């Protein structure tokens, strides 16, 4: 069975392939689904996966991921608005906002939604860390300001990051479920 991962990011497709090896083949599907306005990653991902499955799934299951960075002292901001805030405010200025706080704890959270003819299932994964001044050249998005175990995610190599990441955890939960489901 093939799972079509709806994303503009090829790195995420490679990561999903590694988790689903021997279970399913993973293909990239570029489809611009409607991002509903919601403070729930589940709602956004579920809606996107249903829409993508019905519009372009051609009876093959689709997987949609939605990720947010939730800063404790900012009431969870930017959360579901993380992509918008990255494009508008930017990562460096988010750091400067958090710099004003004593408590700099934050969490990445990813929700994956899997849609097929039977309905939609969601899987989640998270990673707790601290917001720090930007360091490192790797990764993408908020990686340079997110520190885990003394390193920012942008200082880790891809395998190191994937092994502990929010998306890695969500993919591993999904893979376990899928192994039972696809029997
Ligand atoms: P898709 O095409 O895969 O949907 P996206 O960037 O629109 O990509 P995401 O839900 O993955 O959607 O990401 C939302 C925001 O969070 C966006 O600003 C990303 O750059 C950022 N982000 C996602 N995963 C991240 C990670 O592992 N490390 C740092 N930032 C991340
Ligand atoms: Na997304």
- Residue 123 pLDDT level (bands cut at 50, 70, 90): very high
Q: How many CA atoms lie within 13 A of 112 on its CB side?
A: 28
Ligand 1-lining residues (CB < 6 angstroms): 7-9, 12, 65-67, 82-83, 86, 139-143, 153, 165, 167
Tokens representing 133 are 């001044």
Q: Which residues contact 81 (CB under 8 A, 6 or more apart)?
A: 68
Which one-letter DSSP state was computed for residue 89? Answer: T
C-alpha to C-alpha distance for 100 and 175, rounded to whole angstroms: 40
What is the per-residue pLDDT across 24-74, written as a single tens digit (0 to 9) for each? Answer: 999 999 999 999 999 999 999 999 999 999 998 678 999 999 999 999 999
| Domain boundaries, given as residue ranges, for the chain | 2-181
User: For the whole model, what pTM was predicted?
Assistant: 0.95
Mean pLDDT score of the chain, rounded to an integer?
95
2-181: CATH topology: Maf protein (3.90.950)
* Residue 112 CA: distances (Å) to CA of 7, 73, 98, 130: 12, 26, 28, 24
Catalytic residue among 59, 66, 72, 87: 66
Q: How many CA atoms lie within 13 A of 47 on its CB side?
A: 12
Angle 10-20/166-181 helices, nearest 10 degrees?
50
C-alpha to C-alpha distance for 71 and 29, rounded to whole angstroms: 31
Q: How many CA atoms lie within 13 A of 29 on its CB side?
A: 25
Ligand 1 atom showing the smallest separation from residue 69 Cα: 16
The CA-CA-CA angle for residues 99, 101, 107, to 5°, reads 85
Task: Kindly provide the ipTM of the predicted complex, given to two decimals.
Answer: 0.97
């Amino acid at each position: 069975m093939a799972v079509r991962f709806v994303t503009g990011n090829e790195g995420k497709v490679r990561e999903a392939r590694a988790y689903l090896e021997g279970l399913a083949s993973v293909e990239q599907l570029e489809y611009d689904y409607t991002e509903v306005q919601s403070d729930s990653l589940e709602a956004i991902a579920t809606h996107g996966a249903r829409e993508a499955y019905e519009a372009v799934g051609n009876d093959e299951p689709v997987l949609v991921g939605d990720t947010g960075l939730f800063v404790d002292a900012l009431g969870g901001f930017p959360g579901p608005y993380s992509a918008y805030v990255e494009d508008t405010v930017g990562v460096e200025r988010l750091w400067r906002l958090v710099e004003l706080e004593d408590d700099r704890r934050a969490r990445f959270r990813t929700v994956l939604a899997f849609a097929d003819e039977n309905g939609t299932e969601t899987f989640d994964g998270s990673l707790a860390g601290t917001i720090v001044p930007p360091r490192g050249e790797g990764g993408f998005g908020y990686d340079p300001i997110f520190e885990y175990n003394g390193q920012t995610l942008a200082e880790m190599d891809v395998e190191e990051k994937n092994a502990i990441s929010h998306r890695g955890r969500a993919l591993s939960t999904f893979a376990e479920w899928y192994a039972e489901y696809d029997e």
